[in-house]
Amino acid sequence: MNSEYKGKSRHSGPSEKWMRMAKIYRRFAVDFPFADFSEQAATDMFLYESAGVPLPTNSVVNGYALGKKWMDVTVSMWKEDIPKGLLRAEELLDDGYPEWFLERVGIQTKRGLHNSNRIKR
């Protein structure tokens, strides 16, 4: 961690919850072999998201930041396509996207509806 940002976050490194999301970021940046997915890149992105610490500006692209950008773009497209019938949430589950992730980004699955109805009873 950069010494100029010490004390701006309660955390010394990425949390378990953040690391779960980091796997999703990596998935969206898989086509960018030049992206940096080092431990330092993970810490930098975690501090950016959790404490607002600016990402370092260097010649290496932070793979987690890149993945988050492409995730946001892709999820926006999914949200346009699902109501038009061009994509179903179940297809995303079949492609390996975890249900917790789809629900987190606002895409309800039939499986999720079934589970939430069962819990409410």
Measured CA distances, 46 to 62, 95, 97, 103, 112 (Å): 11, 26, 21, 21, 28
Is residue 29 a contact partner of residue 63, using CB atoms and an 8 Å limit?
A: yes
pLDDT in tens, 61-104: 999 999 999 999 999 999 999 999 999 999 999 999 999 999 99
Cα dist from 116 to 45, 89, 93, 108, whole Å: 32, 16, 17, 10
Give residue 40's Cα distance to chain centre. Answer: 17
Cα–Cα distances in angstroms (integers) from residue 48 to residues 1, 84, 90, in the given order? 11, 35, 32
- pLDDT for the residue 1: 44
Q: What is the pTM of this model?
A: 0.79
Q: Answer whether 112's CB lies under 8 Å from 102's CB.
A: yes
